[in-house]
C-alpha cells in the first residue's frame, strides 16, 4: 500500500483528471490506470550489457569467497545483481532528489530552500556538476517533475525538467548511470510529444544528463577487472572510455532528430502492446 500521498492534477484546461501514486509509480487518468512511458520503452532490449554486469558481479563474488563457499553463499551470489541494482537505484534517486530540491528552490516554490550539499561523495559530485552545467548554459528552470499525458496516443509520464537553455525551450532528463542508453531519446521524445499536444508549446531541443554513479577510483578498478578478464581469454587490453563525472548530451543536432525519435517511441509503444496481446506465455491459462 502506498504511504506517500497521491499527487492530483488536471490537464487539458481542467478536462482531464490525473492521479499519480509516487510509491507504486502508478498513473490514473479520469480514474483509469494508464501505462507509463518507461514501461513502453522497456520493450527495447538492453539485456546484453546487464548480463555482462551481472556476470562480473558473480565472478568477483566467487573470487572473494573461493575455497569457502557454502550452498547458502552460492544462492546469495545468484541474487547479487538484484541487490546491487537496488543500491544503484538508491544512489540515483538521491542525486535526482537533490537536483529536484535545487530546482524548486530556483523556481522559488513555497517552502523550498537551498538544499545542503550531500555528504555522500557520489551524490555530491553529481550535484556540483549539475549546478556547473546550469550556470554554463544560462539555464532558467520553468518546471520540474511535471506529469504529461497524450490523449491522442494514450500514454503518460513525468518530465524531469522543463527549462530555457541557452535561450531555447528544452526538456531535460536526468540519468544516474555509467553510460547513456539510446532509450533516453524515446523517453524524452514521448514527453515532448505529450506536452506539445496538451499545451501547444514548441520545444526546441532535449538534453540527456548522465550523473556518474561511481568515483574515479571505482571506475578504474572496474575497467582494470574488465581488462584482466580479457587477458585471461587471450584478448588484448581495451582502451575503455575515460572517467566522466558528468555528461550532458544535446539530442537534437538536426531538426529531424526529435521527429524521428517520436516516431520510434510510438513504434515501441505499439510493439509493447502487440507483445502483451500475443505473447503465448503471458496469455496462457
167 pLDDT tier (thresholds 50, 70, 90): very high
pLDDT of the residue at 157? 97
Cβ pair 233, 157 in contact under 8 A? no
**Running DSSP on this structure, what letter comes out for residue 8?**
E
- 257-267: average pLDDT: 98
> CA 103, CA 85: separation in Å to the nearest integer?
27
| 159 CB neighbour count, 10 Å cutoff | 22
- 146-172: average pLDDT: 97
Q: Is the pLDDT of residue 226 over 60?
A: yes
The domain segmentation of the chain, as residue ranges, is 88-283
Q: What percentage of the chain carries pLDDT values higher than 90?
A: 57
Give the residue among 211, 153, 160, 151 at the shortest CA–CA distance from 187. Answer: 160
The verdict on domain 88-283 having CATH code 3.40.1440 is no
Q: Is the pLDDT of residue 65 over 60?
A: yes
- 174-200: average pLDDT: 93
Q: Is the pLDDT of residue 39 over 80?
A: yes
Prediction pTM value? 0.85
Q: Is the pLDDT of residue 82 over 90?
A: no
pLDDT of the residue at 7? 92
> Which has the minimum average pLDDT: 73-77, 137-141, 153-157?
73-77
- 262-279: average pLDDT: 96
pLDDT of the residue at 285? 54
| Residue ranges in 70-171 assigned as alpha helix (H) | 71-78, 80-106, 121-136
pLDDT of the residue at 101? 95
Give the distance from CA 65 to its chain's centroid: 33
Give the residue among 218, 155, 226, 227 at the shortest CA–CA distance from 191. Answer: 155
- 173-178: average pLDDT: 85
Amino acid at each position: 500500500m502506498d504511504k506517500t500521498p497521491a499527487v492530483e492534477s488536471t490537464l487539458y484546461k481542467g478536462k482531464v483528471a490525473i492521479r499519480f501514486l509516487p510509491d507504486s509509480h502508478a498513473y490514473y487518468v479520469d480514474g483509469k490506470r494508464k501505462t507509463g512511458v518507461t514501461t513502453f520503452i522497456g520493450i527495447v532490449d538492453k539485456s546484453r550489457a546487464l548480463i555482462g554486469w551481472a556476470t562480473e558481479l558473480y565472478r568477483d563474488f566467487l573470487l572473494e569467497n573461493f575455497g569457502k563457499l557454502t550452498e547458502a553463499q552460492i544462492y546469495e551470489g545468484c541474487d547479487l545483481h538484484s541487490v546491487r541494482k537496488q543500491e544503484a537505484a538508491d544512489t540515483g534517486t538521491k542525486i535526482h532528489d537533490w537536483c529536484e530540491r535545487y530546482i524548486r528552490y530556483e523556481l522559488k516554490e513555497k517552502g523550498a530552500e537551498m538544499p545542503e550539499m550531500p555528504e555522500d561523495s557520489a551524490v555530491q559530485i553529481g550535484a556540483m556538476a549539475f549546478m556547473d552545467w546550469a550556470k554554463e548554459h544560462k539555464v532558467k528552470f520553468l518546471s520540474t517533475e511535471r506529469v504529461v499525458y497524450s490523449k491522442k496516443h494514450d500514454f503518460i509520464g513525468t518530465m524531469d525538467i522543463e527549462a530555457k537553455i541557452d535561450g531555447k525551450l528544452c526538456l531535460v532528463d536526468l540519468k544516474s548511470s555509467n553510460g547513456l542508453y539510446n532509450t533516453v531519446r524515446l523517453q524524452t521524445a514521448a514527453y515532448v510529444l505529450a506536452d506539445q499536444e496538451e499545451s501547444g508549446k514548441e520545444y526546441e531541443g532535449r538534453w540527456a544528463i548522465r550523473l556518474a554513479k561511481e568515483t574515479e577510483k571505482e571506475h578504474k578498478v572496474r575497467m582494470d577487472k574488465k581488462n584482466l578478464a580479457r587477458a585471461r581469454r587471450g584478448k588484448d587490453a581495451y582502451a575503455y572510455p575515460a572517467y566522466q563525472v558528468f555528461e550532458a548530451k544535446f539530442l537534437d543536432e538536426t531538426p529531424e532528430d526529435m521527429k524521428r525519435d517520436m516516431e520510434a517511441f510510438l513504434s515501441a509503444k505499439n510493439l509493447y502492446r502487440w507483445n502483451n496481446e500475443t505473447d503465448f506465455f503471458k496469455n496462457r491459462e
